[in-house]
Amino acid sequence: MVGPVSWKAGTDETVNHLVRLIQAETVNPPGNELPVILVIKDILEQAGFPQESFKILESAPNRANLVARIKGDGSERPLLLSGHVDVVPVERERWSHDPFGGEVIDNVVWGRGALDMKGFLAMYLQTFLNLFRQKASLKRDVILAAIADEEAGFTHGSKFLVEQHRELVEAEYGLTEGGALTVYFGETKVYPIQVAEKCVCWLRGRAIGKPGHGSVPHADNAVFALAEALEKLRRAGHLPVHISPTFTKMVDTAGSQINSPLGRLTGLLHSPAVVSILLGRLKGETRNYLRALVTNTVSPTMLQAGSKVNVIPSVAEVNIVCRLVPGQTPKSVMDEIHQIVGEGIELEVVYTTDGAEFSTESPLYKLLEKRTHQLDPEGLVIPMMMPGATDASQYQKAGITMYGFTPGVLPKGISVLQMAHGHDERVPISFIETGLPVLWDVVNEFCGAGS
């Protein structure tokens, strides 16, 4: 099957759609995704997409999702392209341009969501429209899902669809954010494809002491007990190392592509003991990133104790955000924390989501890998575990194998990691132009009849 006549025209159309998506403000909370869903409805209708082939599903007032489908012959199960339409809040005064203006300046589209992930969704939408216009014959359905509430817990978006409208999103495989875009490590370009994500686990820790008057201090002060426990956690540096299949695959794949003696040393990273020693030696960002990949992480975020200045409280509490390596459980991380702080601190689970880990041996993953190498033959392509959670964690409950795949070449200076939830989020049009043909090739090769 041939591609669209001109990627230039496809890119221009994608940019026009992206501008409209950015201008429909969907900061979550509160979300308010309906206006942007109506924009997507309008784009589909303008393209002549039949009304009976898409559905808008409201999970709450103004919280809407859209699911559209192009039918294949049914000989294989569907492919899902899923992008969330909500965005995180902005600090307007820290932006150089209106975060909801959708301005295009010097071939760069500015605005909240340009990367995370309205830009990627606009590319999925373009691929979907191309398929529709070409009347492509497909062996599997291609489903496009525009999803609410990814940034604040999935309840009104992917979770709602998986629990209440599963038949609409059921698929063998799915693509969503984020992967196969350029990340720079010095001069080395890396294209990580997301295949796993950590579980979210929020805990509350509690120290119980003896109340009393502030004028007569005693040793049994809950605030001291909690502070001491937190200091023990800080000094420990990290919880025990757990080497996941994804981490092993990640270091092996990277090692096989590095043409230096260093490449052969990556095998050492299969050993938890070696990684543990390394964590003790490394510093800064590199250490933080490695720690996030191989351990259950612990970040104390909120402290509460007392309500009167001159009264020693009997209880001091801390909220702890943990991210667990796939396969680990809230109980296992609580055991690990107790090992360090002792049993004197009570721990309870406040909120948790499942992690996810998908195979890198599937035909789709192999295709994503191959096409990403073609996107940039100089880049390293590796599977990646995401420290955070995406809609993939919900879709896996419907048995869908999900990969983070939003391909394109980014110039140095545009860092997804910094911009996705930071200030001055923007996407160069060149990214869209390099990524669209890759997405097209993947969807065609994987879904086209006779392929």
Contact 333, 239 (CB under 8 A): yes
Q: At closest approach, how far in Å is the CB of 150 from Zn ion? A: 6
User: CA–CA distance from 129 to each of 124, 134, 365 (Å)?
Assistant: 9, 9, 23
Pick between residue 4 and residue 119 the one whose CB is nearest to Zn ion.
119
Under the rule (CB under 5 A), what is the footprint of Zn ion?
116-117, 177
Q: At closest approach, how far in Å is the CB of 120 from Zn ion? A: 8
DSSP tag of 258: -
Q: For the chain, how are helix, strand and coil distributed in percent, rounded to 5?
A: 40, 25, 35
103: phi then psi, degrees, rounded to nearest 5: -75, 145
In this structure, the strands spanning 79-84 and 346-352 are unpaired
Is 143 strand, coil or helix?
A: strand
Using CB atoms, what's the residue nearest to Zn ion?
116
Of 35, 39, 41, the closest CA to residue 53 belongs to 41
Pick between residue 116 and residue 441 the one whose CB is nearest to Zn ion.
116
Pick between residue 117 and residue 225 the one whose CB is nearest to Zn ion.
117
Pick between residue 230 and residue 356 the one whose CB is nearest to Zn ion.
356
Q: Exposed, middle or buried by CB within 10 Å (0-12, 13-18, 19+), for 260? A: exposed
Q: At closest approach, how far in Å is the CB of 149 from Zn ion? A: 11
Q: At closest approach, how far in Å is the CB of 123 from Zn ion? A: 14
Pick between residue 179 and residue 383 the one whose CB is nearest to Zn ion.
179
Q: Exposed, middle or buried by CB within 10 Å (0-12, 13-18, 19+), for 164? A: exposed
The DSSP element (H or E) to which 133 belongs, if any, is helix 118-133
Q: At closest approach, how far in Å is the CB of 77 from Zn ion? A: 25
Pick between residue 148 and residue 316 the one whose CB is nearest to Zn ion.
148
Contact 181, 191 (CB under 8 A): yes
Tokens 């095998």 correspond to 267
Pick between residue 117 and residue 122 the one whose CB is nearest to Zn ion.
117
The DSSP element (H or E) to which 255 belongs, if any, is helix 245-257
Q: At closest approach, how far in Å is the CB of 58 from Zn ion? A: 21
Pick between residue 150 and residue 336 the one whose CB is nearest to Zn ion.
150
Q: At closest approach, how far in Å is the CB of 70 from Zn ion? A: 24
Q: At closest approach, how far in Å is the CB of 40 from Zn ion? A: 17
Q: At closest approach, how far in Å is the CB of 247 from Zn ion? A: 22
Nearest 5 degrees, angle CA 336-CA 341-CA 344?
110
Pick between residue 13 and residue 151 the one whose CB is nearest to Zn ion.
151
> What does the CA dihedral 363, 367, 369, 372 come to, rounded to 10 degrees?
-160
Q: At closest approach, how far in Å is the CB of 314 from Zn ion? A: 42
Pick between residue 36 and residue 117 the one whose CB is nearest to Zn ion.
117
DSSP string, 355-417: -EE--SSSHHHHHHHHHHHHH-TTSEEEEEEESS--THHHHGGGT-EEEE---BPPPTT--HH
